[in-house]
């Protein structure tokens, strides 16, 4: 059963304004629309909850995270059914995303219990040191306070209500205020019910989690500018993320904005690999490009390869595979409209030719494939802008220097990929120093649409891929975004945080 309301400090709160979801089929559901008063109440409750939750034992927070995972799984069928209705994503994809979401919660629980993320350090006192004694110094990472999280349109589970930002903040000891995404409020409603049940089961302060649904731009502005919010997590468009980033920076007390804003994730197919297995690479790339209607932030939208007979074979194989991909329903009407506009912009760009043109209208998306040359790509920065959907661009080069020039001209990326054989090692080695400055993850002989939730994962990169190149929104390192180091000098054990005793 949908509550259709906001969850604020343990209470389901209505509103005198409402909005509806946008189901692919069936009747729409109504939800209370957020207002600034809801933001104020949620943030005040989060600050109150921090007095206890921020100083809770790691084992208690681990239990809370595992309980959220259990409660989400208990509602699994309802979540999947609502997700199919609201987003058009297939049942298998949603079930997989739910598995990733609960797996992430449990991974963070294990990581918190181990305590390695605290980076505990101790410099013992040296009272006899000359010319000056050294005091006793201890350092540990401490939670920063209430965190705001904006749900993502393309991941109703893994990057939304109980997704990576929320899980990381709760693991760190930070209460969370979620701004639910209007693309899937029903899924957000059910997941919020699961978190609410976990809060009650673990006997935590109810302000540890709140969710505000819908609302106009003023609601998002109020969240990032609220003086009790200490950081913001966001996954979405460059325009929307940059606007929120600027608001965070313009506050009387600026706060960090951890925004993941998009990427074209270029794939560099090296010469020997192109010659030896170009058709196979093209087919696999087409699968990655069209996965989930291309609605992944790691969608590999650009392929760079050397012109010639092997490139011709690659182009032919990619066109054949993409031609066989059926129309797919996009997440929202707005996302579909933006995709169609992006395709039209690419089709009209100078120096760009159509390899595959398909027909799609409304909320449906079909693949498109374009081709351009290195000089044209380098001359028009707009060709390197993300088009969110199953559209690919082949960029042909004549010599290795153009490959390096393309890499050097890239904006910040989430990922860069090298497809290579052993004979390409020397050429690829020269590329790595360039690519590692451009992306948070550099891949070899794979495609970036699978983002493993692990200790080593980096899902971020230089701007505009993200607003903080030193952070990740996936993996256990993401917890560090919501911590800050504190040094304790000559502090008696009785006054130290439990994690330092």
Give the model's pLDDT for residue 159.
96
Q: 52 with 205: CB under 8 angstroms?
A: yes
Q: How far apart are CA 155 and CA 167, in angstroms?
A: 15
Assess contact for 151 and 161: CB atoms under 8 A.
yes
- Rounded to whole angstroms, how far apart are CA atoms 235 and 270? 32
* Opening angle at CA 164, ends 5 and 189, nearest 5: 15
Angular region, 296: left φ>0, alpha ψ -120 to 50, beta rest: beta
- What the block records as the tokens of 389 is 């959907």
Residue 66: count of CB within 10 angstroms of its CB: 18
Confidence of residue 360 (pLDDT cuts 50, 70, 90): confident
Characterize 90-114 residue by residue with b for buried, 16 or more Cβ atoms within 10 angstroms of its Cβ, and e for exposed. eeeebbebbebbbebbbbbbebbee
CA atoms of 255 and 111, how far apart (whole Å): 26
pTM for this prediction: 0.96
Helix, strand, coil % over all residues of the chain, rounded to 5: 45, 20, 35
Catalytic residue among 97, 260, 371, 386: 260
Contact 132, 162 (CB under 8 A): no
Among 12, 16, 22, 15, which residue's Cα sits nearest to residue 334? Answer: 22
Backbone angles phi, psi at 229, to 5 degrees: -80, 130
Q: Mind listing the pLDDT tens digit for each residue in 68-108?
A: 999 999 999 999 999 999 999 999 999 999 999 999 999 99
What Rg do the C-alpha atoms of the chain give, in angstroms?
A: 24
**Rounded Cα gap, residues 390 and 500, in angstroms:** 50
Residues 382-395: tens digit of each pLDDT: 999 999 999 999 99
Please, which contacts does 397-405 make with residues 24 or more away whose CB atoms are closer than 8 Å?
397/304, 397/305, 397/306, 397/307, 397/373, 398/306, 398/307, 398/374, 399/306, 400/427, 402/374, 402/375, 403/268, 403/304, 403/306, 403/374, 403/431, 404/430, 404/431, 404/434, 405/374, 405/378
What does DSSP assign to residue 499? G
Q: In what order do the strands lie in the sheet with 137-143?
A: 121-123, 137-143, 483-489
List pLDDT tens digits, range 270-319.
999 999 999 999 999 999 999 999 999 999 999 999 999 999 999 999 99
Instruction: Look up 416 and say whether it is catalytic.
Output: no
Structure confidence at residue 179 (pLDDT): 98
Q: How does residue 399 score in pLDDT terms, banded at 50, 70 and 90?
A: very high
Q: Which tokens in the block code for residue 437?
A: 């400055």
| pLDDT score at 262 | 85
| Residue 261: closest CA among 474, 94, 468 | 468
**Span 22-51, mean pLDDT?**
97
3-state SS, residue 328 = strand
Phi-psi category of residue 404: left, alpha or beta, with phi > 0 → left and psi -120 to 50 → alpha: alpha
Q: What is the pLDDT of residue 361?
A: 84
How many other CB atoms sit within 10 Å of the CB of residue 5? Answer: 18
Q: Residue written as tokens 């009747």?
A: 27
Residue 176 structure tokens: 């969370």
| CA 499 to the chain's CA centroid | 30
Distances (CA, A) of 463 to 281, 325, 468: 29, 32, 7
Angle at which helices 164-172 and 91-114 cross, to 10°: 20
Residue located via tokens 């409603």: 189
Give pLDDT, residue 359: 86
Taking the alpha carbons at both ends of the chain, their separation in whole angstroms is: 46
Residues 442, 267: contact at Cβ < 8 Å? Answer: no
What the block records as the tokens of 486 is 């504190």
Average pLDDT for residues 243-270, to the nearest whole number? 96
Task: Given the residues 275, 297, 371, 386, select the one marked as catalytic.
Answer: 297
Residues 6+ apart with CB under 8 A from 353: 370, 371, 372
**The tokens 């990032």 sit on which residue?**
224
In total, the chain counts a number of residues equal to: 501
Q: To 10 degrees, the CA torsion angle through 206, 209, 214, 219?
A: 90
Q: What is the mean pLDDT of the chain?
A: 97
Q: What is the pLDDT of residue 220?
A: 96
pLDDT above 70: percentage of residues in the chain: 100
DSSP strand pairing (364-365 vs 328-329): antiparallel
Each residue of 167-216: pLDDT tens digit?
Answer: 999 999 999 999 999 999 999 999 999 999 999 999 999 999 999 999 89
Residue 113 annotated to the active site: no
In contact, 487 and 138? CB cutoff 8 Å: yes
d(CA 476, CA 472): 9
User: Which two three-digit tokens encode residue 277?
Assistant: 């297995």
pLDDT band at 132 (very low <50, low <70, confident <90, very high): very high
Considering only CA atoms, which of 20, 46, 48, 51 is closest in space to residue 33? Answer: 20
Report pLDDT for 473. Answer: 97
């Amino acid at each position: 059963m949908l509550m259709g309301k906001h969850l604020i400090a343990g209470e389901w709160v209505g509103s005198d304004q409402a909005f509806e979801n946008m189901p692919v089929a069936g009747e729409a559901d109504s939800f209370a629309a957020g207002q600034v008063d809801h933001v104020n109440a949620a943030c005040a409750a989060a600050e109150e909850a921090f007095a206890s939750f921020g100083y809770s034992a790691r084992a208690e927070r681990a239990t809370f995270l595992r309980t959220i995972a259990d409660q989400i799984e208990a509602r699994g069928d309802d979540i999947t059914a609502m997700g199919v209705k609201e987003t058009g994503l297939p049942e298998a994809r949603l079930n997989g995303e739910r598995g990733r979401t609960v797996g992430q919660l449990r991974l963070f629980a294990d990581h918190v219990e181990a305590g390695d993320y605290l980076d505990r350090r101790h410099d013992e006192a040296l009272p006899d040191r000359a010319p000056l004694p050294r005091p006793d110094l201890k350092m540990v990472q401490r939670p920063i306070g209430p965190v705001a999280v904006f749900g993502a349109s393309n991941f109703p589970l893994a990057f939304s209500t109980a997704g990576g930002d929320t899980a990381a903040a709760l693991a760190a000891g930070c209460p969370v205020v979620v701004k639910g995404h209007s693309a899937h409020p029903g899924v957000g409603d059910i997941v919020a019910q699961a978190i609410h049940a976990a809060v009650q089961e673990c006997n935590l302060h109810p302000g540890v989690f709140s969710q505000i649904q819908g609302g106009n731009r003023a609601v998002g502005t109020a969240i990032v500018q609220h003086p009790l919010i200490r950081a913001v997590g966001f996954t979405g468009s460059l325009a929307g993320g940059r606007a929120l980033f600027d608001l965070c920076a313009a506050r009387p007390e600026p706060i960090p904005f951890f925004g993941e804003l998009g990427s074209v994730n270029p794939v560099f197919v090296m010469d020997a690999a192109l010659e030896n297995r170009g058709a196979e690479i093209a087919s696999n790339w087409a699968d990655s490009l069209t996965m989930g209607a291309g609605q992944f932030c790691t969608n590999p939208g650009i392929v760079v390869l050397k012109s010639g007979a092997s490139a011709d074979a690659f182009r032919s194989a990619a066109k054949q595979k993409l031609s066989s991909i059926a129309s797919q329903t996009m997440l929202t009407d707005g996302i579909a409209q933006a995709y169609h506009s992006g395709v039209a912009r690419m089709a009209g760009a100078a120096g760009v030719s159509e390899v595959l043109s398909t027909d799609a209208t409304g909320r449906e998306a079909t693949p498109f494939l374009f081709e351009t040359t290195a000089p044209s790509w380098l001359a028009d920065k707009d060709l390197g802008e993300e088009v969110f959907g199953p559209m690919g661009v082949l960029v042909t080069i004549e010599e290795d220097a153009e490959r390096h020039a393309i890499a050097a001209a890239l904006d910040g990326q989430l990922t860069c990929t090298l497809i290579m054989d052993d004979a390409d090692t020397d050429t690829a080695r020269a590329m790595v120093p360039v690519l590692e400055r451009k992306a948070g993850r550099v891949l070899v002989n794979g495609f970036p649409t699978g983002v493993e939730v692990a200790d080593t994962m980096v899902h971020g990169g230089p701007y505009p891929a993200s607003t903080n190149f030193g952070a990740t929104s996936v993996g256990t390192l993401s917890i560090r975004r919501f911590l800050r180091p504190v040094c304790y000098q000559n502090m008696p054990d009785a006054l130290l945080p439990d994690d330092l005793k």
